[in-house]
Amino acid sequence: MKPAAVISLAFFLILLAVLSGCLNSSPENPSVDFTFTTLDGQTKQLREYYGKVIVLDLMGVNCQPCTLQMSQLKQIQTNYSSDDVIIISIDVWVSLGENATLLQQYIDAFREQLHVELNWTFGLDDMKGTIGNTYARSGIPTLYILDKKGNIYYTHVGYDSYTMLESKLDEVLAKS
C-alpha cells in the first residue's frame, strides 16, 4: 500500500473515531428499579409491578406542574385497562419535608375539592432522596413509561400532555 493511502486511511479512521464520539454510547433502554414506601407504610420494590406497562410519575406535593399532571394521569387510568397499564406516583421531595400525611391530604383534596379520585399507587422516596437523586435530578414532574420488562421506553421532564403520553403508551403496548 502506498504511503499516501496509508496516511489517508489513518486520518479517516481518526475522523471516524471523532464522529463516533459524538454518538450516545449509553446502553439502550436501561431498566428502572428502586424501593419505595407506600402510603400505608409498606416497603415495595418497583420490580414487583413489572409485567404491565408502568407510568412512573416522580412528583412532589408542593409542585404546581405535578398537580396539573394528575389530570393527564387520571385520563390514562380511565382510558387504559389496568391489566395493561398501571400508574405509580412517587413523592420524591420527602427529603425536603414532604411526608405521607401531606401526600394523603393532597389525594384527599383532589377527591373533596375536584371530585377526582387519584386511586392508583402512591409512594414516597426515602429521607435521603435516593429515588429523586437518581431518577428526577432535572426537576419534577419526571415521567417514565416502562415496558413490561421494566425497561425505559419514554422519559419526559416537566409537564407532559395526554396526547404525547397516549401515543407513547400505544407504541409500547403495540410492541409488547
Partner 1 sequence: MVIVLGTLGTSMASAAAAEPVIGIPVLIPNTPTALSTIRFSVDVTGDDITFVKINVEECDGKTGICYPEQNITMNKISNITYAQNVTLTHSDATYITYSVGVQYGSLWKNSTRIKLNLSEQQPPDHNQTNGSGNNKKIPGFELVVVVAAVAVSLILVGRKRYR
**CA separation for the pair 117, 72 (Å, rounded):** 13
**CA separation for the pair 110, 15 (Å, rounded):** 57
Applying CB under 8 A, among 158, 164, 175, 176 the residue interacting with partner 1 is 158
Task: Tell me the closest approach of the beta carbon of residue 83 to partner 1, in angstroms.
Answer: 30
Taking the chain, what is the end-to-end CA distance rounded to the nearest angstrom?
51
Binding residues with partner 1: total (CB under 8 A)? 44
Within 8 A by CB and 6+ apart from 56, the residues are 32, 46, 88, 90, 135, 143, 144, 145, 146
- Provide the mask over 109-148, with x wherever binding to partner 1 is found by CB under 8 A and - wherever it is not: xx--xx-----------------x-----xxxx-------
The set of cell numbers assigned to 175 is 410492541
CB 65 within 8 A of CB 106: no
Binding to partner 1 (CB under 8 A): which residues in 49-78?
60-69, 71
CB 110 within 8 A of CB 70: yes
Binding segment for partner 1 (CB under 8 A), chosen from 12-20, 32-40, 73-81, 146-154, is 12-20
The answer to the question of residue 164 lying near partner 1 (CB under 8 A) is: no
- Provide the mask over 83-102, with x wherever binding to partner 1 is found by CB under 8 A and - wherever it is not: ----------x--xx---xx
Q: Footprint of partner 1 on this chain (CB under 8 A)? A: 2-5, 7-8, 11-12, 14-15, 18-19, 22, 60-69, 71, 93, 96-97, 101-102, 105-106, 109-110, 113-114, 132, 138-141, 157-160
